[in-house]
Amino acid sequence: MNIPYKLICTEYPGHAQEFILKLSEEEISSYRAVVACSGDGLINEVVRAIALRQDYNVGKEYRIPIGIIPAGTGNATAAALCHHSGLLAKSSVLLHSVFLLSLPPETMSLLEYKMGLVSDEGKLRLTLPTSQRISPLTGIRFGTDNKNSRHFGVLSIEWGIFSDLDYKSEKLRWMGETRFTVYGYYCIMRKQLYRAKLSYLPIDNQKSQSLKNNGSKTTEEDSISQSSLVNKNVKDLRRRPNESNDPIKIWNKTWYYLPDIGKPISNDNGKWVVLDDEFISILVLNHSHMAASAVVQPDAHFSDPYLNLVIIHKNATRVDLIRIAQAISSGKGLKSTPYMDIVQISAVRVDPYPNSSVITMLDGELMPSGVCQAEVMPGYFSVISGGQTI
């Protein structure tokens, strides 16, 4: 295909981040994309490096896109890109990820469904647009109470049973993606509870009513929906990319929805929900997948201007947890139940109790334990995708 490229084989953790940070603006602008051939961990390094570059912001005309060739055990972000491009993700994520990268930037002819490359949904349409697109990729700004802790992600934040599963199953890495199933059932049988104060800012306050019914302590709330306000704010941020006071321009240096992690969250407007209780797990997800074969929210898109918060409460039984695992592995995804809430949010803070030792993971990478918080960075990055128009 005569595509010029520069190959960098990473030799140690942080190598990719170090390389990208050292590139001058002229050098990085000379590339059409940076492609990570890896699992979700190296993608996180690339994302973090782009966010930390002093010359990077969404106001620039050129934002170097990220391409993905999945080569890990989870491959969640690659699967989400395939899924929302109308291509099979569960069984053919590598083939279809490379297929997306092989397309020229300009529009191509339609791909016939009989080629076997499209999903069942695509087959119903008979044809599928297959032009390569540079799409916005929403980011996650993440911080802990560790000094100078500043991180960025595009996949998820795991706390509780999900983080135990992700981190402790590393000893079974030789099993490939099957390790999640094997260790997952061990975690279900164990069913450990973790106590914390959970604070989150929903984009729809009406959701808080269901939370009041599960026995957790919660704050008083307005009945006014925030979804229109959040969407308006996101549109405003994208509409005014060159204004010096544009919050998204400095999102890599300061919090937008949250105060610094050592300061209390002001809830004068009553829009924050606060739960002080025991939880089985808290999961913040940026898109549809947790792994190539694990779908949490099929309709969640990687460019959505919000994050998805999944709260599994202490009243969930082991049978309930098995049902959750089956729903994720089947591709149907999760829905709110009396023991689980799913909320679209702009920001979240988790403050564990001192005697509650909990693993925290960002994009599958181990983070310092303790108080942590995160907020959405709408459309902050760019990614190579295809298929359906965003």
Q: Average pLDDT, whole number, for the chain?
A: 78
Instruction: Summarize pLDDT for 66-118 with one digit per residue, the tens.
Output: 999 988 877 888 888 888 877 766 667 887 788 778 776 644 334 433 344 44
The better pLDDT of the pair 56, 68 is held by 68
Q: Where does the pLDDT of residue 217 fall: very low under 50, low under 70, confident under 90, or very high at 90 and above? A: very low
User: Do the Cβ atoms of 17 and 11 come closer than 8 Å?
Assistant: no
CATH of 15-137, one of 3.40.50.300, 3.40.50.10330, 3.30.460.20, 3.30.420.40: 3.40.50.10330
User: Comparing 41-55, 74-88, 197-211, which segment has the lowest mean pLDDT?
Assistant: 197-211
**Of the candidate ranges 19-23, 266-270, 272-276, the one whose mean pLDDT is the lowest:** 266-270
| Residue percentage of the chain with pLDDT more than 90 | 40
| Sign of the four-CA dihedral 280, 282, 285, 290 | negative
pLDDT of residue 387: 58
Is residue 273 within 8 Å of residue 240, measured between CB atoms? Answer: no
Assigned architecture for domain 139-380: Sandwich (2.60)
Please give the pLDDT value at position 225: 33
* 357 pLDDT more than 80: no
| 4, amino acid identity | P
Q: Is residue 274 very low, low, confident or very high in pLDDT (cuts 50, 70, 90)?
A: very high
| Contact between residue 66 and residue 382 where contact means Cβ atoms under 8 Å apart | yes
The pLDDT, as a whole number, for residue 130 is: 57
Structure tokens at 204: 């729809």
Q: Picking from 31-35, 96-100, 103-107, 257-261, which range would have the lowest pLDDT averaged per residue?
A: 103-107
Of 54, 78, 84, the closest CA to residue 66 belongs to 78
Residue intervals of the chain classified under CATH 3.40.50.10330 are 15-137
Residue 148 banded pLDDT, cuts 50, 70, 90? low
Helix, strand and coil percent figures for the chain, each rounded to 5: 30, 25, 40
Name 168's bridge partners: none
Least confident of 167-171, 323-327, 347-351: 167-171
For the residues 4-24, what does the mean pLDDT come to? 92
Split at pLDDT 50, 70, 90, the class of 286 is very high
Please, where in the chain does CATH 2.60.200.40 lie?
139-380
DSSP 288-306: SEEETTEES-TT--TT-SS
pTM for this prediction: 0.80
Report pLDDT for 223: 27
pLDDT digits (tens, 9 = 90+) for 289-319: 988 888 999 999 999 999 999 999 999 999 9
Task: For residue 321, give every residue at least 6 positions away whose Cβ sits within 8 Å of its Cβ, in sequence order, or none.
Answer: 161, 188, 191, 280, 312
Structure-token match 């808080």, residue found: 208
Q: Name the most confidently modeled range: 50-54, 75-79, 186-190, 310-314.
A: 310-314
Amino acid at 71: A
Residue with the bigger pLDDT between 219 and 183: it is: 183
Per the CB < 8 A criterion, the answer to whether 157 and 358 are in contact is no
